[in-house]
Structures are given as C-alpha cells and as structure tokens.
Amino acid sequence: MTPPTTESATARLGRLLTMVPWLVNRQGIDLRRAADELGVSTDQLEADLRLLFLCGYGQMPDELIEADWEGGRVFVGNADEISRPLRLGVDEAVTLIVGLRALREVPGLDERDAVDRALAKLESAAGEAAAPASRVRAEVGSRVEADVLSRVRGALADHRRLHLRYVVPARDEATERDVDPMRVVGMDGAWYLEGWCHRAEDVRLFRLDRIEDLVVLDVDGTPPQQAHERDLSEGTFRPAPDDVTVVLRLLPGATWVADHYAVDDVEEVPASEGGGLRVSLRTADTAWLRRLLWRLGGAGRVESPADLAAEVLGGADAALAAYSRA
C-alpha cells in the first residue's frame, strides 16, 4: 500500500512522526524490509530519510537528525524529541477500538480474552481520542453458529478436507460437497469459507450460515495449485462474461431490490408512468430471479428476456392451480 502521490504535507509529517520511532527501535534494519513494513516504496523511504536529515531542533550539525542508509541498512539517530510516536489520532483510535469490539462479537472466538486485554490497554493509551469510538459500531458477521465457525477454522489450521451439506435458499437447492478450505472471511454481515470445491472443480465461497451439515474428513485438505483466492474487494458477487442480462421493472414497493442485489444500471421511471425503477443485472442462473418475481407479487416485472418472463408466468400459474381446486 503506497501512499497516494498527492499525500499532503501534514499527512506526510504524520507518517514521518510514526516512522522515526519505528526506525529508532530497529537500528540497522534492511531498507527494503523497512519500506515493506512501513507500507511505502524504497524510493519513498529514501526520500523521507533525506528529508529527516535536513531537520532538527536547531540548524547546527549536532542539532540535526542523523539518517544513514549506506549499504542498504537504515540508522536514525539524534531524534530524541520524536523517538516516541505521537498519540493516536481520533481516526486511528476509532479504527482499532471499533475493530476489536467487532472481533469480540464473533461467535465462539477463542481469543476473546486477548481482545479484552488489548481493548483495555488501547483505551487507556488513546485517552480522549477513544471517546468517539463509542459512536461507531461495526459488525463483521454474527449470523453463524460458533460451532460451525470453530470447526471450519480448525479444518483450515489442520489442512483437513470438509464435507458440507450446503443450502442455497435463493435457488432452493441443497448440495453435498467436498471442500479443501483456503480461508475464512467475514464480510457484509456474514462469514464465508473460501475453498476448492471438488464438485465444481473450482474455487467457491460458502456462507457458513447456509451449511446445514459439516464433517471434518480425515483426508488431507491442501487445495490444488490452481486454487487462487478471489479478489473480494468488490464484494462476494462476481459477474461472468456469459451471464444473461435481465431487465426488471420495479414498482415503488419493490425498489429495495436495487439496493439488495448487485445491479448494473438503475433508471428512474417518472411518476406519470407509475414511478419506481427499471434496473438491469447480469446473472448466470435465473432460478433465483423466478423466485424473486413470485415474491414481489406483481410489484416487479421481467421486461427481458421474454423466456424468463414466460417462466415466471408459467410457474405462478402452476402454483395457483393448487388453490383453485377448492
């Protein structure tokens, strides 16, 4: 993570005031390693060291900070005034405190005691900067049984294969799968197991609260070499090139769909035409869309493709047939 090229003078100062104590306590550290751990390029680190070298509490040579990185090893001296880090800023205190409190809520976390001790020390170190943290509250995923989370974590740590019975409510489908665990990620309110699925012969994400049954197999669960972690920075949904594009007309009561699902385009429909939205989205599988449209009960309509609209109609007709006997 390289700081943006537009780093402001004060942001850079803040970074230097953190960097100096870090380096003072690691005299002789390898330049490249220091840059890595400080989250900057080696060029940036050298530029920072050149700047430090020009600063001091006075301008006589013995009043200036010493910075030396000859031969790729970094030494920083004569910086007693700033040899301790600046107190935590509000954003700094808030991120760590809110992050720790979120960890506390993870069901069945063995490290809860460490979290509590870290939290107590951090709050006392942060002083006043800790107060606003009480007004920010985050959740990383609570909808999971402690037992499922801890067994999946155990399988990951021991490199064991898992057998899952997995339910996908949107498709009303339950499948049996063998999975080699790769990592356990908590995001968007749920916990996910990412792993190599032997049924799909590909990397898949499984939401832990949809695992109906779980067995840790006595089989090596090291994922194959071609298994690569997915980039989850855009969320868990990943459109594919061969997806079908679906256009939905959403009346005012159904516009929540645009918030809830990953939609590509959203167009507002004027009140004179009934209001609401027209959205388009891409999906490989339309079973969940049929179910969504039955649920919306007329507040949503498939505009295209026509065969999906016909399936929604046919399915709703078939369902109504069961009630018309009486």
Partner 1 sequence: MSSENGGGAPSGAQAKTERLLNLVLVLLYTRRPLSKAQIRRLVPQYAANASVEAFERMFERDKDELRELGVPLVTEDIDALWEDEPGYRIHQRDYALPDIAFEPDELAVLGLASRTWAQASLAGPAAQALRKLRAAGVERDAEALIGIEPRLRTTEPAFDAVKDAVVRRVRLRFGYRRPEDAEASERHVQPWSLVSWNGRWYLTAYDEDREAPRVFRLSRISGAVRTVGRPGAFEVPEDHEPHVMARREGTPATQPSPAVVRVRQGAGHSLRRRARTVGDVDDTWSLLDLDYHDLDMQAEELASYGADVVVEQPPELVDAVVERLRGAVLAHGGAVR
- Binding to partner 1 by CB under 8 A, coded x per residue (else -) over 207-246, reads -----x-------------------xx-x-----------
60 binds partner 1 (CB under 8 A): no
Nearest to 85 by CA among 9, 11, 20: 20
Q: Please, what is the minimum distance in Å from the beta carbon of residue 240 to partner 1?
A: 21
Region of 4-12, 215-223, 237-245, 278-286 interacting with partner 1 (CB under 8 A) = 4-12
How crowded is the C-beta side of 32, counted as CA atoms within 13 Å? 1
Beta carbons of 122 and 87 less than 8 angstroms apart:
no
Residue written as token pair 């951090």: 122
47 binds partner 1 (CB under 8 A): yes
3-class state of residue 314 by DSSP? helix
146 binds partner 1 (CB under 8 A): no
- State which amino acid sits at residue 1: M
Nearest to 231 by CA among 289, 187, 181, 200: 187
59 binds partner 1 (CB under 8 A): yes
1 binds partner 1 (CB under 8 A): yes
- Binding to partner 1 by CB under 8 A, coded x per residue (else -) over 292-311, reads xxxxxxxxxxx------xx-
Q: Considering the complex, state which of residue 104 and residue 220 has its C-beta at the smaller distance from partner 1.
A: 104
Figure out which of the listed residues 2, 36, 72, 114 binds partner 1, where binding follows CB under 8 A: 114
Contacts of 55 (CB under 8 A, 6+ apart): 64, 65
Residues 31, 33, 34, 38, CA torsion sign: positive
Task: Please give the C-alpha separations between residue 31 and each of 13, 28, 93, in angstroms, as whole numbers.
Answer: 20, 9, 29
3-class state of residue 75 by DSSP? strand
Q: Please, what is the minimum distance in Å from the beta carbon of residue 242 to partner 1?
A: 25
190 binds partner 1 (CB under 8 A): yes
- Structural tokens at position 107: 């069901």
Figure out which of the listed residues 34, 35, 76, 106 binds partner 1, where binding follows CB under 8 A: 106
DSSP 57: S
Figure out which of the listed residues 36, 73, 159, 172 binds partner 1, where binding follows CB under 8 A: 172
Strand partners, 73: 30
Figure out which of the listed residues 41, 42, 99, 305 binds partner 1, where binding follows CB under 8 A: 99
Q: Considering the complex, state which of residue 247 and residue 299 has its C-beta at the smaller distance from partner 1.
A: 299
Figure out which of the listed residues 52, 74, 164, 279 binds partner 1, where binding follows CB under 8 A: 52
Region of 68-76, 188-196, 198-206, 214-222 interacting with partner 1 (CB under 8 A) = 188-196
| Rounded-to-integer distance, Cα 258 and Cα 251, Å | 11
Q: Considering the complex, state which of residue 137 and residue 201 has its C-beta at the smaller distance from partner 1.
A: 137
